[in-house]
Structure 1
């Protein structure tokens, strides 16, 4: 795995970045504690997936930092994933002395959670103080119950639909649908639910975070943690893509769910009561395939492979047509349930961890409002003060807002993109990361834009570059 990692970082990045303006450097020094730093952010380079470790200095005299771990996963299809995820988890255990104060699991996707099962032996060695999850994982929340039920039905139907596609000989459909379903774990084996169970087991009582919660200042630190999303609003959660008129991003709810389930509900049931024709006009498949006098059907309905010129005649799998659309929407809805955290440092600078939040999640931040020390703090205030941005959803087209997002980050210094473009291409996500977004990040970030799959264009004193991670110090 070491050789693989070195090969990945051998590619050249596209453009150099500018150094930090003197005014920003002076401002940072003005609020730097005796420890010599205000925060350290480590992005692991395991591939296409998220894993971050944040170190915050203590104010209580302890030399041990306050450690925050956010997610730990890599996309299915990554070569030898257990080996590399164990390397990541072992490094976290070593660096933290065997414990993190806060573990945040942002949402139920494999590329954010797989390490909690793939590296369970190492994870078991890690002591955890608190576990934070989004309110969308709270089993007592009524909207959570509704979303989980809908998601469960959709996943069951899609997995059965995948089997139908395989039997129908549709390799393109199978590849597209299975690639999306991989985000929820293995078809046979560990799932994202298993990974979350391992995370929950680290504490007696997880915190289920809401954006209406007051900010939290962990004991012994000068940092405040704000929850920006996900919104406790079904309409906003279901707003996944930018609108045609507004163009909120650079570059739907489960609209296919009723249509697909109408077909799946009957096609996958034991008794199909919704037949397209009366039985007197039907010829059973088994008889049509075997009866000597019905060679017409054998020649025109069941020709092998792609050479079947009359495949259009069959309607038995027409209901599968909406499967890929439904899967994409289910995937995006799960992304939109991402727990989004803004960490405010001494002096007002903010570290923004947006997970995979999509349009509706971002739009909801403009309505976030808190009162802190007699002053009003809003979602837009936190964006304006962001000096660090963990780029949403590996740089995809609908996970970074433009006017109400990146362009609000007036003080941005560092952006980190946990992306492996080579793997994204293999997964048929060729526009991950989106070139237009990467260009905008390079224009906006005053220090550096760091990508998992590329080395730095030039050395920077504030950044450590290693085969296994990048670490930036503020």
Structure 2
């Protein structure tokens, strides 16, 4: 498979942009008579679900679905996911050749719970299932990481309960816990059980596995990540300002801090029977006088003391008594650990490159973060006597599923996007309004989206926006123009 060649030009303002030269890469506004692939991006909301159609050499199509979910809290989520799955069934005639699940987050898995009945074998047959090695029940490192994440999830759930009882709930913790589902609505664990039930032998993919030539299709799949390296999986951000102090090793300490009962909390100073929650204590006159408001000792001091207006000495403002309380500041570390749980799960993402017959690459990075991306640099294969490397696949990337909905640490610069010399189309499965409601106002990151537009000559497609003019000739929509965008490659 020959690599695509490109030339560079300079955009206004001095930023380099790229334009494909004559060869296997069509321009952003053109369309091949027979596309080498079609990528359908569903528009269910903030979440991932993609259906890839590859033509078979003997006629017909090979169908790949990657993920199927939407963020918790999405209006009419079950209705939307059922519409997505129904469309998959109609398009594939009830037959998926390959189902790929990238990682254990609700916005990538919810559909398997919300449309459980539609995934029955009489409605949708699934031939093969791929998951990351992190889901392999026999892998020692995978078991270690799962144990850590489960312990941290339990600790954070406990922290959330204690903070709510204290009248100080933490949206950060609650938001992260939502990524794993909700009571009464199903969990990511439930979804994975359904997925693994599609076939008795799911494949657990490892980086550097031999490339897979799809049967009867002029396409090849490469597994890029996640790295089989605990240190790289726990490398979320390139900046040293990331709060690494606690890490996953802090799980036991956090459990000691937030255990909901003193029976299991050896550090608790008092038995639960004599503990009073802060909101309740604030309503008791004694505690009001001595732990909230101005300091009564200062206010009612003896003559000559601060606060005595009869002393003839200038008085100080009544002292605040918040110093007498421990409140819930000691639980602030749990917010940092919540971020680490979120990032550690994202960094277990199964990242894949699909190489087409003409050498172009479709890159699906899921929610991979810094450590996952960096590990690709060391990957290499020999295909038909020719070397293929991770950076080589990036250089030939023509279509990019933007990592983690366009967040700040899921697309590398010099070792990622700036290598993509052939990039023509970038899609971002993001609902910015929902992201804002969740407290993620920088999703997608403005700087990243601008750079994507510069490189692709405005070939960026978001699920929450219309089709850009540069892609108008090659993007199809469903009749309602709400369910999906499909890009011809």
> What TM-score comes out, normalization by structure 1 length?
0.85
| 1:51-93, Cα deviation, whole Å (9 max, x unpaired) | 000001101x1x3210000001000110010000000000000
1-side partners of 2:247 and 2:370: how far apart? Answer: 19
Query: Aligned-residue CA RMSD in angstroms?
Result: 2.9
Write out per-residue CA displacement over residues 302-328 of structure 1, whole angstroms, 9 at most, x where no aligned residue: 89xxxxx64553337454221111011
- Residues 84-139 of structure 1 show CA distances to partners (whole Å, capped at 9, x for unaligned) of 00000000000000011000000000000001101112222211010000000001
Unpaired stretches in structure 2, ≥5 consecutive residues = 1-16, 294-319
Match of 2:204 in 1: 208
In terms of mean alpha carbon deviation, does 203-212 or 446-455 score higher?
446-455
Match of 2:429 in 1: 418
Name the counterpart of 1:389: 400
1-structure distance, mates of 2:226, 2:412: 15
Structure 2 matches for 1:21-420, cutoff 5 A?
A: 23-24=21-22, 27=25, 36-59=34-57, 61=58, 63-124=59-120, 125-171=123-169, 173=170, 175-244=171-240, 255-259=246-250, 261-265=252-256, 267-268=258-259, 269-271=261-263, 274-275=266-267, 284-285=274-275, 296-297=286-287, 299-301=289-291, 310-315=321-326, 317-420=328-431
Greater percentage in helix: 1
- Structure 1 residues 184, 384: CA separation in 2 closer, same or farther (over 3 Å shift)? same
Q: Partners in 2 of 1:397 and 1:263 — Cα distance?
A: 27
Q: What is the number of residues matched between the two proteins?
A: 434
Offset of residue 258 of structure 1:
4.1
2:47 and 2:107 in contact (8 A); partners too: yes
Q: Distance in 1 between matches of 2:374 and 2:142?
A: 20
Gap change, CA 1:153 and 1:21, over 3 Å in 2: closer
TM-score under structure 2 length normalisation: 0.82
Tell me if the contact between 1:266 and 1:274 (Cα under 8 Å) persists in the aligned partners: no
Hey, what's the Cα distance between the residues in 1 that align with 2:188 and 2:277? 43
Distance 1:168 1:388, change over 3 A: same
The answer (yes or no) to whether the contact 1:241–1:358 under 8 Å persists in 2 is yes
Q: In 2, distance between residues paired with 1:67 and 1:198? A: 19
- After superposition, the Cα gap between the structure-2 partners of 1:58 and 1:335, relative to the gap in structure 1 and judged at 3 Å, is same
For 1:289 and 1:397, the matched residues in 2 are separated by: 37
Verify the 8 A CA contact 1:238 1:253 in the aligned structure 2: no
- Residues 190-247 of structure 1 show CA distances to partners (whole Å, capped at 9, x for unaligned) of 10011111111111110000012100011111100000000000110000011359x9
Q: Could you say which residue in structure 1 is the equivalent of 2:314? A: none
Structure number, greater radius of gyration: 2
Q: CA deviation at 1:254?
A: 8.0
Change (3 A) 1:429 1:24: farther
The 8 Å contact of residues 351 and 389 in structure 1, kept in 2 or not, is answered as yes
Unaligned runs of 5+ in 1: 1-18, 304-308
Separation of aligned partners in 2, 1:412 and 1:235? 30
Specify the alignment match of 1:473 in structure 2: 488
Inter-CA distance 290–155: structure 2 relative to 1 (3 Å threshold): closer
> Retained in 2: the 8 A contact 1:226–1:343?
yes
CA contact (8 A) 1:253 1:333 kept: no
Inter-CA distance 69–271: structure 2 relative to 1 (3 Å threshold): same
Q: Distance in 2 between matches of 1:323 and 1:75?
A: 22
